[in-house]
């Protein structure tokens, strides 16, 4: 009996199986004092569709915001997890302050629990300026992020690590006014763009003396009114970074600790 050729004795070649499992999609939400923005980010942190936007409810108690967010994301693609940037101080998944919406009605509200109940998806919560800073920082030295919108937000990073959040918006800035009153949306409308920019430059000088930061990033809806020219130490960032930071919030084990 003839032996079969060696090739027929060899085990069948293993074919590579294509990994068809879909990696998580992240719903990024940026809660602003005047607008709510959202989009779904793919596994690389890129927007799958253009962001959607609606006006923030006014007044805006917790349940009104929850309903508005649920309605906002209905036309978006399916998602597996959620990241929310909120304009206030947050800690342990709860809102501590909400200066644009009313501190008294918001204090202690578990926004994470409320949204998880509506969507059945895991949710992480972070201050909106902190979340906007996550995708833009370089990760070296001391970096400060300022957001100029309805109010003023700040986030501080050291060698890429988010530092405990400071609500500098409530720190006295000039003649009894805090940064919100001095540089917020109402102030811009009252004093005009030229004087408002002088105030911005004054604020930057004060914050530089306070922190001696290596690089400054300025974003938010009113950053488009800035007349300062970017340089090696100053960068103007997109308002969309508040959504893109949602991917970064989920991209590291345990997320980023708030507060």
100 shares a domain with 59:
yes
CA atoms within 13 A on the CB side of 236: 12
21 found inside a domain: no
258 found inside a domain: no
42 found inside a domain: yes
30 shares a domain with 104:
yes
149 shares a domain with 81:
no
> Please, are residues 21 and 35 in contact by the beta-carbon 8 Å criterion?
no
Q: Which of 88, 96, 182 is nearest to 127 (CA)?
A: 88
User: In the prediction, which pLDDT does 21 show?
Assistant: 55
Cα separation of 216 and 123, whole Å? 29
5 found inside a domain: no
Nearby residues of 52 by Cβ (< 8 Å), 6 or more positions away:
37, 38, 39, 72, 73, 75, 76
| Count of the separate structural domains present in the chain | 2
221 found inside a domain: yes
Three-class secondary structure of residue 32 per DSSP: coil
246 shares a domain with 124:
yes
Q: Which of 103, 77, 70 is nearest to 88 (CA)?
A: 103
Q: How far is CA 171 from the centre of its chain?
A: 22
Looking up tokens 């708030």 gives: 258
**If pLDDT is split at 50, 70 and 90, which confidence band does 59 have?**
very high
154 shares a domain with 175:
yes
31 shares a domain with 123:
yes
Residues of the chain by 3-state class (helix, strand, coil), percent to 5: 30, 25, 45
47 shares a domain with 121:
yes
92 shares a domain with 67:
yes
Query: How many other C-beta atoms are found inside a 10 Å radius of the C-beta of residue 91?
Result: 15
Quote the Cα angle for 26-108-145, to 5°.
55
Three-class secondary structure of residue 145 per DSSP: strand
121 shares a domain with 68:
yes
- The domain that contains 150 carries what CATH number? 3.30.420.40
pLDDT at 206 over 90: yes
- Domain span holding position 65: 26-131+242-250
123 found inside a domain: yes
Each residue of 107-158: pLDDT tens digit?
999 999 999 999 999 999 999 999 999 999 999 999 999 999 999 999 999 9
User: In the prediction, which pLDDT does 148 show?
Assistant: 96
Question: What's the mean pLDDT when you consider all of the chain?
Answer: 91
Supply the pTM of this predicted model: 0.88
Each residue of 65-83: pLDDT tens digit?
999 999 999 999 999 999 9
CA atoms within 13 A on the CB side of 118: 18
161 shares a domain with 91:
no
125 shares a domain with 32:
yes
Query: How many other C-beta atoms are found inside a 10 Å radius of the C-beta of residue 245?
Result: 29
Eight-state DSSP code of residue 81: E
39 found inside a domain: yes
184 found inside a domain: yes
Query: How many other C-beta atoms are found inside a 10 Å radius of the C-beta of residue 256?
Result: 19
51 shares a domain with 97:
yes
Q: Own/partner pairs for 46-53, CB < 8 Å, 24+ apart?
A: 47/240, 47/243, 47/244, 48/77, 49/76, 49/77, 51/240, 51/243, 52/76
User: In the prediction, which pLDDT does 15 show?
Assistant: 45
């Amino acid at each position: 009996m003839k032996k079969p050729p060696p090739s027929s004795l060899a085990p069948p070649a293993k074919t590579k199986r294509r990994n068809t499992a879909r990696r998580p999609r992240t719903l990024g939400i940026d809660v602003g004092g005047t607008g709510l923005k959202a989009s779904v980010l793919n596994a690389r942190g890129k927007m799958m569709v253009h962001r959607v936007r609606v006006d923030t409810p006014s007044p805006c108690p917790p349940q009104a915001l929850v309903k508005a967010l649920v309605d906002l994301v209905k036309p978006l693609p399916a998602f597996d997890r959620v990241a929310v940037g909120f304009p206030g101080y947050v800690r342990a998944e709860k809102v501590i302050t909400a200066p644009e919406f009313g501190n008294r009605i918001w204090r202690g509200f578990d926004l994470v629990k409320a949204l998880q109940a509506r969507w059945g998806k895991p949710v992480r919560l972070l201050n909106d300026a902190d979340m906007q800073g996550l995708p833009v920082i370089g990760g070296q030295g001391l970096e400060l992020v300022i957001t100029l919108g309805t109010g003023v937000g700040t986030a501080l990073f050291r060698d890429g690590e988010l530092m405990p959040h400071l609500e500098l918006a409530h720190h006295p800035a000039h003649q009894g006014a805090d940064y919100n009153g001095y540089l917020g949306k109402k102030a811009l409308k009252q004093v005009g763009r030229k004087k408002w920019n002088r105030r911005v430059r004054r604020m930057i000088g004060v914050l530089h003396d306070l922190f001696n930061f290596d690089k400054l990033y300025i974003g938010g809806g009113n950053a488009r009114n800035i007349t300062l020219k970017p340089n090696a130490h100053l960068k103007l960032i997109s308002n969309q970074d508040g959504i893109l930071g949602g991917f970064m919030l989920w991209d590291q084990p345990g997320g980023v600790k708030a507060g």
